[in-house]
């Protein structure tokens, strides 16, 4: 959630798609690196996970800096129109809709660490090209749009690959802790990236700040290079199936599974409404509450404090309530606080907006942590990339539509009425989780029904 999402959550008695038999569920490949990290020692002592964690966090910082820096370059350097800037903001998400599904099927066929390193180096080169073009006096809006599109393409492959790569270096019993740390650092990265993007632009100029941003992707690639564990080669079937068939298999599995289906629906609707209200919130803060631009940026980033808290308390919450019940408790109790957001006003009333945003983020990140670990344990390893991409396409594909929805409603109804409408939707969205089998369980299943140990 991205926010944004949940897995998004979505970082996710179950009969699997196409009625797969026990024989069709392959054993999870043995990974030597997992034996070096007993749960009692904690993941902070797991060298490979520390490097992955640091590399992914730095990658997220870079992505969030880009979110701020690219529009600033367009406005300050190229004097771009409002419409052009909005297109620039939407373009990085288009690759999820265009190639998200085949990307997941392809990731299932290859080792993921080289893919992530290549994505980081591609982002480095793309972002560095902007200041070079500006210094040569040839920078255009067309180049910014191409850079944003290709950078979004790299983000698709990196995002899918790292989610599939985590189970390769972390033992199954440590997956929830791993996802909690990754989700928590993502919230920290959002604060650092959004705030740091503005500071870099102020200190070095919008264009030069983007060059500093490019360095975060180099650092991320070096962290991945330092991982010592050998990633297992994906299982190679006797006869390679067409990519289209692989995509269809992932879609069928996701849609037919009762757990994955409801978690994907929850994450997609949540992302749609989250993005819609976030698209108009800066305008609301500046035009109706008369906040300065600097305060607006930090206020938007402050909602990530709730995300950090959600990652910290996830383990305690699931220990007490269980993973399924804990997710329901977390989302049902925090989502209604979204209604504090449109209550925000000048002076002390601004606290209502900040608290509502933080508590909403808390519930979303808790759901992300639980769902991320659930999918990595629950899904057959040979399908994990495809399932991850199906869910990500639904969740992230909702983001550009959410931005358009927020803008259209804000124009037609006004800013505050639109915030009331959208946050009311967010307040009841967790009720979608009650449609599926989660409401009758304490814990989410570790394996699908019909597989060894399934229920």
Average pLDDT score, the chain? 80
pLDDT, tens digit (0-9, with 9 covering 90-100), for 134-186: 899 999 999 999 999 999 999 999 988 888 888 888 887 888 788 777 777 77
Across residues 352-380, what is the average pLDDT? 89
With respect to residue 359, please indicate whether it lies within any of the assigned structural domains.
yes
Residue 404 lies in a domain: yes
Q: Is residue 6 part of a domain?
A: no
pLDDT digits (tens, 9 = 90+) for 426-438: 999 999 999 889 8
Q: Is 303 inside any structural domain? A: yes
CB atoms within 10 A of CB 188: 17
In a domain, 54, yes or no: yes
CATH label of the domain that carries residue 403: 1.20.1250.20
**Residue 445 forms part of a structural domain:** no
The tens digit of pLDDT for each residue in 245-289 reads 888 888 999 999 999 999 999 999 999 999 888 777 877 887 788
Nearest of 351, 380, 357 to residue 454 by alpha carbon: 380
Separation of alpha carbons 142 and 108, rounded Å: 33
Q: Which residues have C-beta within 8 Å of that of residue 249, sequence separation ≥ 6?
A: 17, 18, 383, 386
pLDDT band at 443 (very low <50, low <70, confident <90, very high): very high
Q: Residue 4: what pLDDT?
A: 43
How many domains in the chain? Answer: 1
Q: Is residue 84 part of a domain?
A: yes
For range 304-324, the mean pLDDT: 85
Check whether 233 has a pLDDT greater than 80.
no
Give the separation between CA 275 and CA 294, rounded to whole angstroms.
21
Q: In terms of residue numbers, what domain contains 339?
A: 17-26+36-232+243-440
The percent of residues above 70 in pLDDT, for the chain, comes to 80
Is the pLDDT at 22 greater than 50? The verdict is no
Nearest to 254 by CA among 396, 425, 89, 383: 383
The pLDDT value given to residue 59:
79
Confidence at residue 446, expressed as pLDDT on a 0 to 100 scale: 84
121 pLDDT above the threshold of 90: yes
What is the distance between the alpha carbons of residues 178 and 34, in angstroms, rounded to a whole number? Answer: 13
Predicted model pTM: 0.70
Residue 10 lies in a domain: no
Yes or no: say if 58 and 233 are a contact pair by the CB < 8 Å rule. Answer: no
């Amino acid at each position: 959630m991205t926010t944004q999402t949940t897995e998004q959550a979505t970082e996710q008695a179950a009969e699997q798609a196409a009625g797969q038999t026990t024989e069709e569920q392959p054993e999870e490949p043995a990974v030597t690196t997992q034996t070096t990290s007993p749960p009692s020692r904690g993941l902070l002592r797991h060298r490979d996970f520390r490097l992955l964690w640091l590399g992914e966090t730095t990658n997220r910082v870079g992505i969030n800096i880009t979110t701020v820096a690219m529009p600033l370059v367009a406005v300050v350097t190229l004097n771009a129109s409002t419409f052009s800037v909005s297109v620039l903001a939407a373009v990085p998400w288009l690759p999820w809709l265009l190639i998200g599904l085949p990307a997941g099927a392809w990731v299932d066929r290859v080792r993921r660490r080289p893919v992530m390193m290549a994505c980081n180096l591609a982002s480095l080169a793309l972002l560095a090209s902007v200041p070079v073009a500006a210094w040569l006096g040839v920078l255009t809006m067309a180049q910014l749009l191409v850079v944003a599109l290709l950078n979004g393409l790299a983000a698709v492959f990196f995002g899918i690959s790292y989610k599939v790569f985590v189970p390769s270096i972390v033992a199954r019993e440590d997956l929830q802790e791993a996802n909690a740390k990754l989700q928590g650092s993502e919230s920290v990265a959002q604060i650092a990236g959004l705030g740091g993007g503005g500071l870099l632009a102020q200190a070095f100029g919008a264009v030069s700040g983007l060059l500093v941003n490019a360095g975060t992707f180099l650092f991320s690639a070096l962290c991945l290079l330092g991982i010592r564990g050998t990633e297992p080669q994906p299982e190679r079937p006797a006869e390679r199936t067409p990519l289209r068939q692989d995509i269809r298999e992932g879609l069928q599995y996701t849609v037919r599974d009762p757990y994955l289906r409801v978690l994907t629906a929850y994450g997609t609707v949540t992302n749609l409404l989250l993005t819609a209200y976030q698209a108009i919130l800066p305008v609301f803060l500046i035009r109706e509450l008369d906040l300065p631009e600097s305060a607006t940026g930090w206020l938007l980033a402050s909602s990530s404090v709730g995300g950090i808290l959600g990652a910290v308390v996830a383990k305690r919450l699931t220990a007490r309530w269980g993973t399924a019940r804990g997710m329901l408790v977390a989302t049902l109790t925090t989502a209604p606080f979204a209604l504090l957001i449109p209550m925000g006003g000048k002076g002390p009333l601004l606290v209502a907006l900040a608290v509502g945003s933080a508590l909403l983020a808390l519930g979303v990140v808790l759901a992300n942590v639980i769902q991320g670990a659930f999918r990595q344990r629950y899904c057959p390893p040979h399908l994990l990339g495809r399932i991850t991409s199906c869910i990500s396409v639904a969740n992230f594909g909702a983001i550009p539509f959410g931005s358009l929805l927020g803008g259209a409603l804000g124009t037609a109804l006004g800013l505050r009425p639109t915030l009331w409408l959208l946050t009311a939707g967010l307040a009841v969205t967790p009720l979608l989780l009650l449609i599926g089998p989660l409401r009758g369980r304490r814990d989410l299943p570790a394996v699908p029904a019909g597989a060894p140990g399934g229920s």
